[in-house]
Chains A and B, each alone.
Chain A
Amino acid sequence: MDDPILRLVGILTDSFIPLLKAGLMFTVPLALISFALGLALAFLTALARISSSKALQSITRFYVWLIRGTPLLVQLFIIFYGLPAVGVTLNAFPSAVIGFTLNVGAYNSETIRAAIQSIDKGQWEASKALGLTRGKTLRHVVLPQALRVAIPPLSNSFIGLVKDTSLAAAITVTEMFQVAQQITARTYEPLLLYTEAAFIYLIFCSVLNYFQGRLEIYSSRHLTM
């Protein structure tokens, strides 16, 4: 293959399937699993933050402070490379899941807390006057409304997470960016490969963007803005 253009086209087509495969097999699952677990953690953290227990409030405030105040990449290194020193050895993928989950939980707990607190006090009072307990009010009245408020920032966070999964390359997870680096090492075409990887991230995020729009329309269908 003497023609340089043909060579580049060949690299591009040959690398597309491996990149997409890494994306679908590692990037997407890593993002989905971490986000699902992280949301559950965020929700519990938010509930603890608005609870009347001083102890729960302090613990969760410390957790949010710690995670938000340290770089994600450094956290991943501590979990994967650091913890074996104290006898905790984890594979790369679970290490990444733990790191991302902790981050999603910390950042989104604030989103969920704010969404819950944005719901009019009158909703709590009407529920109480009707005999609903705090828990039942939260479940049947406040959360369904708070979710609508929370969808845009939560979607934002999910899209951010999809891109942040590329950091897992640094702890040997063979997600999409890691595969792009491997192919670059063979072909010496960094511009081509990294642009191609960026393009696939862009496709993933565009799909998410579309679903976010649909979800927002669906969740606010009866509500005046």
Chain B
Amino acid sequence: MITINNIHKKFGNLEVLKGIDLNISQGEVVCVIGSSGSGKSTLLRCLNRLESVTSGTIYIDGKLAHDQTSKDIGMVFQRFNLFPHLTVLENIMLAPMVVKGQSKDRLKATAIQLLRKVGLEEKADAYPNQLSGGQQQRVAIARALAMAPKIMLFDEPTSSLDPELVGEVLEVMKALAEEGMTMLIATHEMTFAKEVSDRVIFLDGGVIVEDSTPEEIFENPKHERTKVFLNRMRKSG
């Protein structure tokens, strides 16, 4: 589904990704862990072309990814980035309407279905600023799903949420994973990564240090750097 060959990304003189190779198959749920600045976000952003790669290739579903953002990839951001001037329903309907030219009536049914899926049917006519962070992030997930993506990217989706709101977002993501969605998730939620993912990737200093099953990584990490990182996470978590 996703094939990444030796991608490098430089911001000026700073090399954030130093040669990443990665394959993700259909239906796979992959969590990317690593400290801030390890390149997690940049990797995700390169995948849907919010950043262009300095070198290397990315194939999405067998097609070479060009500068145009792929419509097959949905993205959920750390800071939600909902459109504040539109209602929840309008947020979800905007892209399918404007990009795919779908009719408003048909879309409305789909949008309400998506809202039901994230448990926010009754908030259809609310505006983003009337919602809690957790609710906003669930709307953001529904908005991304409205474009019927084949792959969903999550860029630290719970990092800007109050602790008591993290659970509701993770629940929605878990349900999505169980439905068979291909997902790549940058996260600091170790328990969630252990529970939901098929594979966990530990990124450090712009390279993949370890790529293994969650059991292997969390119970029996191979590399010293992975051990140090996990210990630090356990202490702070």
The answer on a CB contact under 8 Å between B50 and A224 is no
- A residues near B53, Cβ cutoff 8 Å: none
Bound-complex Cα distance A56 to B50 (A): 26
- A residues near B81, Cβ cutoff 8 Å: 120, 122-123, 125-126
- Known contacts being A130-B143, A222-B129, A223-B84, is A125 close to B77, with CB within 8 Å? yes
- Known contacts being A122-B79, A129-B48, A130-B95, is A222 close to B84, with CB within 8 Å? yes
Q: Which of A138-159 contact B (CB under 8 A)?
A: 140-141, 144-145, 148
- A residues near B82, Cβ cutoff 8 Å: 126
- Known contacts being A122-B79, A130-B99, is A145 close to B84, with CB within 8 Å? yes
Per-residue CB contact flags for chain B residues 42-65 toward chain A (1 = under 8 Å, else 0) read 000000111000000000000000
Any A CB within 8 A of the CB of B127? yes
Any A CB within 8 A of the CB of B118? no
The answer on a CB contact under 8 Å between B69 and A131 is yes
The answer on a CB contact under 8 Å between B75 and A129 is yes
CB within 8 A of B69: which of A129, A141, A148, A223?
A129
CB within 8 A of B74: which of A123, A129, A145?
A129
Chain B: minimal CB distance from A1 (Å): 62
The answer on a CB contact under 8 Å between A130 and B50 is no
The answer on a CB contact under 8 Å between B77 and A136 is no
The answer on a CB contact under 8 Å between A136 and B99 is yes
- A residues near B94, Cβ cutoff 8 Å: 130, 132, 140-141
Any B CB within 8 A of the CB of A21? no
CB within 8 A of A131: which of B77, B79, B95?
B95
Any B CB within 8 A of the CB of A128? yes
Interface of B with A (CB < 8 Å)?
48-50, 69, 71, 73-75, 77, 79, 81-85, 94-95, 98-99, 127, 129, 140, 143-144, 147
Closest 9 CB pairs of A and B: A126-B81, A130-B95, A122-B81, A222-B127, A129-B75, A131-B99, A224-B129, A131-B71, A144-B85
Between-chain CB contacts (< 8 Å), 23 pairs: A120-B81, A123-B81, A125-B77, A125-B81, A126-B75, A128-B49, A128-B50, A128-B69, A129-B50, A129-B69, A129-B74, A129-B144, A130-B99, A130-B143, A131-B99, A131-B147, A132-B94, A136-B99, A140-B94, A140-B98, A145-B83, A223-B127, A224-B129
What would 18 more interface pairs be, CB under 8 Å, given A123-B81, A131-B69, A222-B129? A126-B77, A126-B82, A127-B95, A128-B50, A129-B48, A129-B50, A129-B144, A130-B94, A130-B99, A130-B144, A131-B71, A131-B95, A131-B147, A136-B98, A136-B99, A140-B98, A141-B83, A223-B127
